[in-house]
Chains A and B, each alone.
Chain A
Amino acid sequence: MTPTLDAPRFVTTRPLLRAQGVTKSYGGVQALRDVSATVYPGEVLGIVGESGSGKSTFLRCLNLEETPDSGSYTLDLPDVQGNLFELDRYARRMLCATRIGIVYQNPHLGLLMSHSSSGNVAERLLVAGERRFAVLRDKAGAALDASEFPLDRMDAPPSELSGGMQQRVQLAKAIALEPALLLLDEPTTGLDVSVQALVLDTLKRLQRDRRITMVIVSHDLGVIRTLADRVMVMRRGEVVEAGLADQVFQDPQHAYAQQLVHAKL
């Protein structure tokens, strides 16, 4: 029985994100095979799988950093139309700067380490056209505050901050423009347990209070279990199982999904 085949009957809202048939190869290596995902407004989709399963590649496709060999990707937003994989470089950059936020596992990918933390967040606002210094500072401060970053450190560069603090600056930068979609690539990996808990709590609060739609990739099943409404299990570039988070964790159907869940719990 495959319940996800049935179309929604009660939830009439259209999906925010719809990716279909995304396929990508590097040289002779198939990184993604016909990957499809649908995410509704306010939902959190978790993607799990072993290293090399293609989960981060898929996330980079959703952030328009990668162009797949085939497939389509749409966001149901008033001013965004068509297959986003077909957008030119400038349009991609503007869309990612204004409507999609991303938090990388490695803060060096998302932050300018020598700029101030508030400057990193303000940079996102500058791309969107804001030029007034006082507004930039206020909005950067508000985003940092929402990410539970201590405002007395907002002028410190990320290079002087701990890993947990750097993730908060990335998060502040990602949510500064109230993105329609927040992408998170292993946001707590490498952080110690207490800092992990703080980051997870912040994400959960953002999810609850702002209903931000999120796609989160992690090999840490505890993180996915805490945050995700639905889960997609990937292996060797393919989706082998998808369902409600509690169903995938309690009653996995695919042999690999069973192996993954039983190995980690």
Chain B
Amino acid sequence: MTPILDVRGLSKGFTMHHLGTAVSAFDEISFTLRAGEFLLLRGRNGAGKSTLLRTLYRSYLAAEGEINFHSTHGTIDLARAADVDIAYLRRTEIGFVTQFLTARPRVSAEALVAEPLRLSGVAAEEALERARQWLSAFGVKRDLWPAYPTTFSGGEQQKVNLARALILPQRLLLLDEPTASLDAGARRALITRLAELKAGGTAMIGVFHHPGDVATLIDREIDLTPDMGPQEEREDVAV
């Protein structure tokens, strides 16, 4: 399978200027991810699982190491790439799914879900139509589609968030506890969509409180708990 991501010696820490201290989140992580692979990140709270995802997405800046992403345009180190290249890759090849919806005032659920398609050049009506299909698939009631998600419950917001995040197929998908606060139906819809994307070649790295939710998708896992010793790939570990 084609490599999508080569991470070498990646470290991340946070300098807290007001305390005059620095905290290490993880050190010297290396792994390779191929097209269609699903990598689970394990570790106790605070082990750096979400921090690693955010560092790969460049919401956090890496302290050391390389994140070589094999884009359709060539290989690029996400840790050092120019902001505009990162923004471009986020629109076209790299997705990030969190458990939190960034709702905007006075923007309807269907418009929010359709937005990634609109930004990628899909016509307004078609984008809305596909957005409605995904809202339906995740079990968002039809009456809510034209409503503002700022007023929705946490679970409903999460469904809107997932529909938005997964509407556009990506080459690399980073999943930060996307099943949190989902009901059983929405969880099934999510797993079905992830399986489709995986079969289509999307590589995924995920953090899940209940990895059993995605047990059928997982190919490999990495444990980030510090006392697990040097960070290495552990292949074919049963969940």
- Interface readout for A1-33 with B: 1 if CB under 8 Å, 0 if not? 101111111110000000000000000000000
Question: Which residues of chain A are within 8 angstroms of B71 by Cβ–Cβ distance?
Answer: 10
Shortest CB–CB separation between residue B113 and chain A, in angstroms? 14
Q: Verify B59–A4 contact, CB threshold 8 A.
A: no
Size bracket, chain A contacts: 20 to 34
- Interface readout for A251-265 with B: 1 if CB under 8 Å, 0 if not? 101110011001000
Q: Verify B17–A3 contact, CB threshold 8 A.
A: no
Partner pick for B104 among A10, A204, A254, CB 8 A cutoff: A204
Q: Verify A9–B59 contact, CB threshold 8 A.
A: no
What CA separation (Å) do A189 and B76 show in the bound complex?
40
A71 at the interface (CB under 8 A from B): no
B87 at the interface (CB under 8 A from A): yes
Closest to B119 in A: A208
Closest to A39 in B: B84
B14 at the interface (CB under 8 A from A): yes
- What are 26 A-B interface contacts by the 8 Å CB criterion? A1-B62, A1-B79, A1-B80, A3-B58, A3-B80, A3-B81, A3-B86, A10-B71, A10-B76, A10-B85, A10-B89, A43-B87, A198-B106, A201-B105, A204-B107, A208-B118, A244-B86, A246-B59, A247-B58, A251-B54, A251-B61, A253-B15, A254-B17, A255-B18, A259-B17, A259-B18
Size bracket, chain B contacts: 35 or more
Shortest CB–CB separation between residue A42 and chain B, in angstroms? 10
What CA separation (Å) do A258 and B106 show in the bound complex?
30
Q: Verify B87–A258 contact, CB threshold 8 A.
A: no
Which residues of chain A (210-265) have a CB below 8 Å from chain B? 226, 229-230, 243-244, 246-247, 250-251, 253-255, 258-259, 262
Closest to A198 in B: B106
Closest to A226 in B: B104
B234 at the interface (CB under 8 A from A): no
Shortest CB–CB separation between residue B192 and chain A, in angstroms? 29
What CA separation (Å) do A262 and B17 show in the bound complex?
11
Known: A6-B81, A251-B14; 16 extra A-B contacts, CB below 8 A, are: A1-B63, A3-B79, A3-B80, A3-B82, A4-B82, A6-B80, A7-B82, A9-B85, A10-B76, A197-B105, A198-B106, A204-B104, A247-B61, A251-B54, A251-B61, A255-B17
B115 at the interface (CB under 8 A from A): yes
- Interface readout for B56-68 with A: 1 if CB under 8 Å, 0 if not? 0011111110000
What CA separation (Å) do A198 and B105 show in the bound complex?
8
A113 at the interface (CB under 8 A from B): no
Question: Which residues of chain A are within 8 angstroms of B237 by Cβ–Cβ distance?
Answer: none
Q: Verify B88–A243 contact, CB threshold 8 A.
A: no
Question: Which residues of chain B are within 8 angstroms of A244 by Cβ–Cβ distance?
Answer: 58-59, 83, 86-87
Shortest CB–CB separation between residue A15 and chain B, in angstroms? 9
What CA separation (Å) do A240 and B198 show in the bound complex?
41
B74 at the interface (CB under 8 A from A): yes
Closest to B150 in A: A197
Question: Which residues of chain A are within 8 angstroms of B18 by Cβ–Cβ distance?
Answer: 255, 258-259, 262
What CA separation (Å) do A230 and B83 show in the bound complex?
8
B73 at the interface (CB under 8 A from A): yes
B228 at the interface (CB under 8 A from A): no
Assuming the contacts A9-B85, A10-B71, A244-B86, asked whether A201 and B104 have C-beta atoms less than 8 A apart, the reply is yes
Question: Which residues of chain A are within 8 angstroms of B89 by Cβ–Cβ distance?
Answer: 10
Shortest CB–CB separation between residue B181 and chain A, in angstroms? 21
A95 at the interface (CB under 8 A from B): no
